Amino acid sequence: MAISFNSIVLNAMSRSPRLFPKFTRRDAITFVGASIRHLSSVGDVSEYQFDEFHDDNKEIKKDGALREALSQLAGDFGRESMLSFQRFFRSRHTPVISTGSLKLDLALGIGGLPKGRMVEIYGREASGKTTLALHIIKEAQKRGGYCAYFDVENAMDPSLAEAIGVNTQNLLISLPDCAENLLCAVDTLTKSGSVDVIVVDSVAALVPQCEVDGSIGDNKRDVQARIMTQALRKISSSLCHSNTLILFLNQVRYNSKQGQAFGHMDEITCGGNALKFYSAIRLRMIRTGLLKNEDKVTGLGICVQVVKNKLAPVIQKAELGIQFGRGFCRESEVLELACEYGIINKEGSNYYIEGRIFSGKQEAERYLAEKDGVLENIAMDLRTILFERKM
C-alpha cells in the first residue's frame, strides 16, 4: 500500500489522532517528498520579505537613541558603564611578556603571556614551574616593570633567582599567613596598576584562616575552593582596568572515581574549578627526562603543553631544557631555531656563527653561552621573524 502525505488525516472526532499509520511487512512504503509541503506559511520564494534598503532617516533616529541610552548609562552608573570598543581595547594586539623561552613564546602564538589576564601553570613537583615563573619575572624586569612574588610554600631560593637573572633587590616578596590575606593583597596590587607580574606559588599551599585557627584533624571540606571562587571573581573584575599579569602556580593530584577501570586515576588541580575558568591560558608542565653531560646529570628535560588559550590556537607544546642552577638552556633553543630559520648556517656538524666555524653542537652552544651579545642579537632577529612580521 502506497502512503502519501494526504493519507495522514486528523480525525476531529477521535481523541488520539493517528499521525503515523501502522505498517506491516507486506506494505510498500514509497517516498513522496515532492508532495510534502514545508511547515511554513510561505509557499514560494517570492513570498519572503527582504530587508529594506538603507534609510538615512532611520539611521539618524537610531544614532540619536543610542547616544541617549549611553548618556543615561553614564548618569546612572558612572563613566565605567560606557560602551566603547576603543576604550577597552586600546591597541589591536594584546601586550605580552615573554616567557624567556622562544619555543614557548612560539607555542603560545602571541609571543608571550598576555598582560591583564590570569594564567595557571600546573604540573607535578619538580617540573620547572618556579623556574618558568622566575624567567617571566626576569623578562618583565628587563622592561622596567615591578614584580611581586608570594612565596606560599616558603621555598624560594634567592641565589637561584639571581642566577637566572632576577633582580631580587627590586622584587616584592611576601610570605602570607593565610589565603584570605594573600588574595586580598593580590587584588590590591592589581587595582593599583603599578605591578606588571604577580606570582602566587602555589595554590596548593594556600591555607584558609579557619585552618590556621583550628586544630589538626578538623574537617574543613572545600573551604579553599570556596575562597578561590569568591576571590577570583573580585580579582577578575580588577583586571578589567589593569595590565597586571597574574601567575598562579598549581600542583596536580590524582583521584580515582567510581565506575572507572581499576588503576585509572584522573588528574585534578588544587583549588577547585574557578581558576580553570578565569585563566586565559593554562600551561601543563611535564618532566620528560634528564639532561646529561657524559655521566653527570646537569638538568631536566620538560614539555610545556598549552592546555587552554583564549588568544591563539590551543593544544601546542614546547620541548625545553632546564640546567641546574641557571634555568632554561637558552643558547640551545636559540641555536636550533636560528638554524631552522636560516640565521645560522649549518653544514653537516659544522655551524657558521659571526664568520666563525664551530664543529659540533656543544661547541656552538658554548660560544653562544659565553657571548651574551651575540646570543641576544640572534634572539632579537628570531623574534622579528617569528612575531613582529606576523603582527
The pLDDT value given to residue 1: 47
CATH assignment of 329-391?
A: 3.30.250.10
pLDDT at residue number 152: 97
pLDDT given at position 314: 86
Strand, helix or coil for residue 381: helix
The predicted pLDDT at position 254 comes to 87
Q: Work out the pLDDT band at 259, boundaries 50, 70, 90.
A: low
Backbone angles phi, psi at 2, to 5 degrees: -90, 130
In the structure, what pLDDT confidence band is assigned to residue 217 with cuts at 50, 70 and 90? confident
Q: Are 319 and 305 in contact (CB under 8 A)?
A: no
Q: Are 18 and 49 in contact (CB under 8 A)?
A: no
pLDDT at res. 82? 60
Whether pLDDT at 8 is above 60: no
Write the DSSP assignment of 96-139 as a string of letters.
EE--S-HHHHHHHSSSSEETTSEEEEEESTTSSHHHHHHHHHHH
**What does the pLDDT read at residue 167?**
97
* Least confident residue range of 13-17, 79-83, 96-100, 250-254: 13-17
Confidence band, pLDDT 50/70/90 cuts, at residue 79: low
| Cβ atoms of 81 and 74 closer than 8 Å | yes
Which CATH code is given to the segment(s) 91-328?
A: 3.40.50.300
- pLDDT over 60 (residue 207): yes
Q: Best-predicted range by mean pLDDT among 5-14, 35-44, 315-324?
A: 315-324
Q: In this predicted model, what pLDDT tens digit does every residue of 192-201 receive, in sequence order?
A: 999 999 999 9
Is the pLDDT at 87 greater than 60, yes or no? no
pLDDT above 90 covers what percent of the chain?
A: 65
Q: In whole angstroms, what is the distance from residue 297 CA to residue 302 CA?
A: 14
Largest CA distance in the chain: 99
Q: Which strand (E) or helix (H) includes residue 236?
A: helix 223-239
Under 8 Å CB-to-CB from 260, ≥6 apart: which residues? Answer: 266
Residue 264 confidence (pLDDT) = 66
Looking at residue 390, its pLDDT comes to 56
- pTM of this structure: 0.81
Higher pLDDT, 6 or 253: 253
- Encode pLDDT of 338-388 as tens digits: 999 999 999 999 999 988 999 999 999 999 999 989 999 999 999 999 987
Confirm if 111 and 309 have CB atoms less than 8 A apart: no
